[in-house]
Structures are given as structure tokens and as C-alpha cells.
Amino acid sequence: MHKIPPPKILALVAFLITIEFSVAHAQIPVARPSPPSDTSREDVVRISTELIRIDVTVTDRKGRIVNDLKPEEFEVFENGRRQKVTGLTFVSAIRERTENAAPAPEDGAPVPPEPIRPENIQRTIAVVVDDLTLSFESVYQVRRALTKFVKEQMQQGDLVAIIRTAGGMGALQQFTTDKRMLLAAIDKIKWNPLGSGGVSAFAPIEATALEQAAANGADISDELLDSEADLVRGDQQFRANLFATGSLGAVTFVVNGMSALPGRKSILLLSDGFALTETSKDGIQDTAGINSALRTLVDRANRAAVVIHTLDARGLQAVGFDASDNANGLSPQEIRSRLNQRSSQLFNTQSGLAVLAEETGGTSIRNNNDLGWGIRKILEDQSYYLVSYEPDGDTFDPKTRRFNRLDVSVTRPDLLVRYRSGFFGVDDREISRPGLGSTRDKQLANALTSPFGINDISVRYNAIFNSEAKIGPYIRSFIHVDADGLTFKKDSDGKWQVVLELLAVAFGDNGIVADQFDRSLTISLSETSYNEILRTGITFDFVFAMKKPGPYQMRIAIRDPATEKLGSANIFVEVPNLKKKNLTISGIALESMSFEQWQAVHERSDTSVVTDPIGDTAIRRFTVGSVLNYGGKLLNVRSKAENVSFRARVFRDSKLVFESKPQTPDSAMPGEPGSFGFSGTLNLGTALEPGEYALQIVATEKISNKNRRLASQFVTFELVGEIANPPN
């Protein structure tokens, strides 16, 4: 790849601030290939009247995976009756880790993430932060551990979401491979003062008002003191059960959302725990309320091939007195009673985490202050066996609908076996998956929530941030729809007509909807335009005004009502806080030319060359040997243009393959103090192999001899095909 001096493409930059809705023809329509059919889910867990297939993890006493067991070494019992193992497969999660062939940039600009494709996903991990129960101290430790996980432990092929139990059900929009988005989600994890977690792991031991009064000589009966203690304990248990049930319900929702994702999935629940029982003043334990929610969660997880691992965020806790406790007004007997209550609370809440992990085949990490180690240990333990057997005749008896208990062991000595506890006697095919349906809204919502693009209709999507003095920050969406998947009909006037239903949503913090665009588009075409649309596809764009800075997941779903075919796509966009006056780069617009077209514009100033920057920015698919123009805006520039420079970098699979020399930005944007346009041109030479690439722009502003400001922005694109007569 080599640099070509850029032509004047100020029009390319100017179109970034044109915000009206428009429809245009695309320049390079190439049908996106369908990903391989998803057989991974079928290969993990299956519960039907013909076959039961479960996943089983076997380790030695040191926690190392054992991978050489034979079918005859497994013993499977359903409701106490031994079953004949009819199939056994070992699935290994071990894979080679690749290192960057090119050195990382020295200026510290972040490397663009790799593109996400279903066939590239090796591990699907939902990190659920139970901020309904976390104490203030636990939140601090959780944020540290998750930041380390994302920066150091997350691997290529990991599809990850960070979800808060108190954050709303839209949280599932956040499954991504983009570390920027995950770090932004971690930054939003805060202590929830309305939850059941206090400032520290345990509430301080101190005398109640009546106990303090009695200690000071007031005449207060034992019955009144007991009544107050029962009231306090009842309120604490009610709040604990309420939030525990809410936490389990949130995890159940996450399980439902993960059911359609590929492969064996993991949930890592970071929590201060929950008790499975509540004790009355008479010492009677009740398990009905919370166990119902737990049993529902376990069944859903076992059917969806989701393993739930739990990690006690409190770490190693001492249950004795500490600096926050105050024994004034308490008798020795009352002090012992409070310490016993604290010890029971720790045991019971840890037991809840342990049971949830055990019932779903997961691991529970407790009494360890190194949360990062716990996360690493859990995520490295991902290899498993698929064990199959044919169920008994009464397993799916409709009269009982019982929970069928599973017990799995191996005959080889000194091995540990983890497996799912069982399942209700209901065939998978009888269960309606949440989010699926035949109505328009349900179909669009289902397509919208998938972390992968659905391509019954081939859709290409791009969204870029920009800001203009008159309207402020906004995100502009560019969508290209391949006409091959659409239904065209002639109307009474002889024109070709197509109807598209479009749902576009901007999800902000933890999945909260910031804005949405829901419209039915009817497009009428002449015969000439119809033939052109078949060749080029349809491109349109629209704008979301974004008053609040922060990370956004931009998602779109397209539906053809005639056939109910769907297409979807998503992209992550960061809206910076411009009020902080940091040097900022807008989104990057793209324009493709053949080398001959570039020569006509650059050498002969030929104004008749027709290009389609809107379509190119949407599709981001270019031909080997073509010329790529790019442009955008620098915002919050403090000094003159000569103190600012930018350079272009091209990455493939996060490896640097090209870097241009520093360039000076274009002239200042009229009416926008501190804003400069920038533009450049790259020759996508024949030395480049077809594949996924990222174009990154890194801008530097010199404030003084020792002080410089840095900003970066990137856009991904695909390089395809070959050219017959490449330029010299």
C-alpha cells in the first residue's frame, strides 16, 4: 500500500453534516455470504423424547481437564435409574493464541478491534454484576477485577456482555468483542444504595434504640425487645429475598437471551450471595419463595446450554468484630447472637451461590480475595464431554411434568465430575423461545437483539458521530440493503414497488433506549430505476440527535412484510463529551474510485466522475486495487492548523500493515470555531489480500514543546476481488 496525494474531497466531508433523510443507489452491491448454519447449539444440549444430550466437565484433583475418557467409563442415572450411554464426544476449548506480527503504535492510540462473526466465536460469556446485592466495598473490587479481565484475560474469539441485574432488560444489547464498549460498561458499575448491599459486606453490629435505652436503665420488657428484634430480622429477610428473587429473575432473562447464541455459553455471576432459606422467629425454615425462582433458572440454563459460574465478590471475610461495630448497649449474650447471625448469613448466602453453580454444571469461587484469579480460573475451564442417552418412557409423562434428577459419575478414580442437575419433563420443541414470534414487532425485536447480523436480507450498516455548531452532537446512520432479498411488485401505474419495515434503535448505558426510528418505507420505481436498484441495491441514511455523551450500541433490523424475511446489523459508536474540550475526531466518511477515475479527478480535474460516498460509507466494501478517499472533522482544536497533524493507519486482524506520513488538516470549518476538516486518499494496492481491515486516523495537536494532545478514530472495511489491469 502506498500513499497518493489526496484530491480535494471537501464535499465528502461536507456531507457528514447533511442531516435530512435520503434514499440513494449503492455503488458496489455484493451479496454478503450466509454464515455457516448454527449447529453448535444442537451439538451442546438437547432434551427431547428421542434423545437426552448433556455436557459434563471432568477434572483431576488439581483442576486439570481430563480428555481421554471412554463411553464405558461414564455412569449416568436419571431419577436413580442407570441409563445406557449411546454417544460421547469431547469438545476442547483449547486454542492457539496469536500475537501481533507488527509492533503496536508507539503513541498509545488504541488498536481497532477485530470484526465479529459467528464462526469466529469460541466462548460466549455473560458477566452478570449483581448490583442488587453488592456492597460498596464489593463494587470496588468487582470493577478492578473486570477491568483486568477485559484488558488482559479476554481472548480472540470471546463474545462478552457485562450486565447489571439492576440495569434493565435491554442489557442484552451489549454482547460484543469490542473492549471499548466493555470498559465503558464497567465504568457504569456503581454501588446501588437501594439494593440489599450495605457499605461493607456485613451491616455493623450495634444496639437498637430499645436495646440502647434498656442499657441506659429504661424499663423495657424482654417481650418488647424480642418483638423489635423480630421486626428488624423480618425486614432484613424480606429485603434480602426481594432482591435475591430479582437477581435470579435477571439472570433468567440473560439465559433466555443467550439461548440462540452459538455453542456452550457461560454466565459469570459476581454477587454478594443470596440465601435459599428464610428462618422465622420460631426457627422454622422456608424455602418455597426463592427456590421456585432458582428451579426455573436452573431448568432454563440447562436447556439453553448455559453454565452458570458464581463468584463471591466479598472475598475472604472474617465474621468477628471490626472497627465498624459498636457493642455499647449489648450484653455478652446479645453480642454472641449477633456474631452467630453474621456467620449464618455468610454461610447461607455463599450456599446459594454454590447451589446455583452446582445445579448448572458450573464452578463457585468463594473465600478468595483475588477476584481476577477467580475469573481466570472459571473461564479457562471450558472443555467438556457431550454425553448422550435415550430417555425412559416416563421421563416426559405429561401427567407428572416432574423434574428429572441427573447423576453422572466416572469409574476412573480420583476424578471430579461437574454436570447439570436435571430438567423438567418437557420436550424442547414444546417450549416457545422468548423473543420469537410471528408478529412484525416480535420478528424485528428478535433480529434487533441478536449480536450477529441476520442476513435473510443482506444489510450493510455504518453509523458515525459528528457535531455541528447549530445542532450539537449527533449520530448519522448509513444503511445499504441488497435488492436480491426483497419482493418487488408492479402497482396499477406500472411502477415497481417495494415495501421495507425498518426498526433502528440507539441503546445507551446498560441497554437503555436513547432514541429509535421505526418506519415503513414504500419505494416506487420506474423500469429504469428498478433495473438500477437490482444492480446497486438501496442505500438510505437518517440521524439521531445525541444530547448525552457516552457509548451507544446502534442496531437496525429490516423486514420484508411480503415474505417476512429479516436482515439486521449493529455497530458501536462513542459520543464524546465535547464540553471537556478534548481533541476529538468525528466519524470517518469513505468514497471509492477506480484508479482511472482518481487519475481523471486528480490529474485532469474531471468533474464528470460519479461517485457514491453515502453508499460507500454504508457498505464499506472495496475492490483490491481501487482508490479509497476518506474524510472527517477534527473538533476542539485549540491552536492553528499548522500545529495539528494526522496520519492514517491500516490494520488487519489488529495487526498494523500500513502507516502514512503526518499530514496537515484542511481549512477550518466555516462557523465552527475549533473545527477543521481532514481528508486523504489511499491506494488499496494489489499487494493487499482480500479480508477485513480497519482504517484508523490518529490526530496530534502540539500545545507546547512538551505538551501534545492525541485523538483517534477508526472505521472498518472489507477488501474483495482482484482487478484485471492493476496500476503501476
Query: pLDDT digits over 638-647, tens only?
Result: 988 889 999 9
Residue of 128, 126, 118, 241 lying closest to 175 (CA atoms): 126
CA 681, 685, 691, 697 torsion: positive or negative?
Answer: negative
Among 44-58, 193-207, 413-427, 499-513, where is mean pLDDT lowest? Answer: 193-207
Among 252-266, 539-553, 673-687, where is mean pLDDT lowest? Answer: 252-266
- Are 138 and 152 in contact by the 8 Å Cβ rule? The answer is no
Model confidence at 8: pLDDT above 60 = no
Report the C-alpha gap between 679 and 674 in whole angstroms: 17
Residue of 605, 615, 672, 665 lying closest to 640 (CA atoms): 665
- Tell me the average pLDDT across 497-509: 87
SS3 297: helix
Three cell numbers at 586?
A: 468525528
Query: pLDDT digits over 305-331, tens only?
Result: 788 899 998 888 766 666 666 667 677
* pLDDT on residue 617: 92
The radius of gyration computed from the CA coordinates of the chain, to the nearest angstrom, equals 30
* pLDDT on residue 581: 92
- Tell me the average pLDDT across 245-253: 73
Residue of 361, 421, 414 lying closest to 64 (CA atoms): 414
Stronger pLDDT, 325 or 188, i.e. the higher one: 188
SS3 110: coil
Domains of the chain by range and CATH?
A: 2-34+455-720 (no CATH), 46-97+384-430 (2.60.40), 121-379 (3.40.50.410)
Model confidence at 726: pLDDT above 50 = no
Three cell numbers at 679?
A: 481528508
* pLDDT on residue 646: 94
Residue of 285, 193, 279, 201 lying closest to 243 (CA atoms): 193
Report the C-alpha gap between 686 and 684 in whole angstroms: 7
* pLDDT on residue 29: 29
- Are 475 and 509 in contact by the 8 Å Cβ rule? The answer is no
Helices 288-303 and 332-359, interaxial angle, to 10°?
A: 30
Model confidence at 203: pLDDT above 80 = no
Query: pLDDT digits over 45-78, tens only?
Result: 677 777 888 889 899 888 888 989 999 999 999 9
Highest mean pLDDT out of 196-200, 485-489, 685-689: 485-489
* pLDDT on residue 19: 36
- Are 274 and 133 in contact by the 8 Å Cβ rule? The answer is yes
Among 118-132, 430-444, 454-468, where is mean pLDDT lowest? Answer: 430-444
* pLDDT on residue 462: 92
Q: What is the mean pLDDT of the chain?
A: 77
* pLDDT on residue 466: 92
Report the C-alpha gap between 297 and 532 in whole angstroms: 52
Among 173-177, 624-628, 655-659, where is mean pLDDT lowest? Answer: 173-177
Q: Could you say which DSSP state residue 546 is in?
A: -
